[in-house]
Structure 1
Amino acid sequence: MFMGEFQHTMDSKGRLTMPAKFREGLGEKFIVTRGLDGCLFGYPQAQWNQLEEKLAEMPLAKKDARTFVRFFYSAATECEIDKQGRINIPQSLKAHANLDKNCVVIGVSNRIEIWDESKWQDFSEVAEESFDEIAENMIDFGF
């Protein structure tokens, strides 16, 4: 399980240090792709395999399903953690998440998310303001 929030700086070559706390769970190689809300999602190989199975079951006749699967897979890339604990993020993914220098890596249960620091701060402020209301709505999901 991944949890916590960690600030890291991306170097000029596009390398980002993965939090030491996450490295074992991610494994030597893991998958990074476009996420929702303007961030990147990172999945350990086992979680990615489970997600692939679910995506393969999506109905090809539905345009939204085709679009989502294309968007999700087209940017997916295997990242390898180097000896210094860093990964190299491709330019297309950096552009999607507006990653430049200051980044935040958060743990979200079975995945990690990589955010531009200012975008994460904006998201967090809005979410905090409506957290009680969101929590009340979670009852619909059996929470």
Structure 2
Amino acid sequence: MFRGVNPINLDGKGRMAIPARYRESIKDYCDGKMVATIDTNTRCLTLYPEPEWFEIEAKLDALPDLKPAVKRFKRLLMGHATELDMDGAGRLLLPAPLREYAGLEKHIVLIGQGRKFEIWSETLWNETRDEYLQEMDADAELPEELQTLSL
């Protein structure tokens, strides 16, 4: 399970170093093979260990292509999916089109989301996080799925 907020710097080639605390488990689980794609709701990327992505890809592939909204969603998510290999130094090279989509420059944030990561521009993450906190402070109605969750 991936968790936590990890500030990271991209190098000049667009490589990000996976935090050391995750490297060994990623090597053991998927031999360092990851898949990055866009998030269709926010300007960030999602990063999956390859086995997790294969499960998602199978679910997407089973959806009907005749529905335009489904086809658009699949086109965006699967069309941007890119296989990445963690190098010996624990780095992943993020392709330019993905970096451009998410507005990634030197300072980025890797957010653990259980079985996947999100990769955000540090600036956009800070703005979005603050918006989320303000919404929670406003006593917004929790979705039904969260009302039964006991923490």
Give the TM-score normalised by the residue count of structure 2.
0.87
Post-superposition CA distance 1:90-137 (Å, at most 9, x none): 000000000010000010111101100000000100001112545x42
SS of corresponding position for 2:3: strand
SS of the residue 2:125 aligns to: helix
| Aligned CA-pair RMSD | 1.6
- Give the SS at the match of 1:2: coil
Please tell me the residue identity of whatever aligns with 1:3: R
CA 1:126–1:92: 2 relative to 1, 3 Å: same
Deviation at 1:25, TM superposition (A): 4.0
1:38 and 1:58 map into 2 onto residues whose CA distance is: 24
Q: Secondary structure at the match of 2:4?
A: strand
| Structure (1 or 2) with the greater strand fraction | 1
Alignment of 1:77 with 2:82, yes or no, is yes
* Larger mean Cα displacement after TM superposition, 16-25 or 34-43: 16-25
Measured after TM superposition, the shift of residue 75 of structure 1 is 1.2
Say which of 19, 34, 38 aligns to 2:38.
34
State the 1:63 CA deviation.
0.5
TM-score with structure 1 length normalisation? 0.91
Q: Which runs of 5+ in 2 are unaligned?
A: none
* CA–CA separation in structure 2 for the residues paired with 1:110 and 1:120: 20
Q: How does 1:1-143 map to 2 (within 5 A)?
A: 1-26=1-26, 27=30, 28-35=32-39, 36-131=41-136, 133=139, 136-140=141-145, 142-143=148-149
Given that 2:57 and 2:78 are in contact with CA atoms closer than 8 Å, whether structure 1 keeps it comes out as no
Identity %: 32
Number of residue pairs matched by the alignment: 142
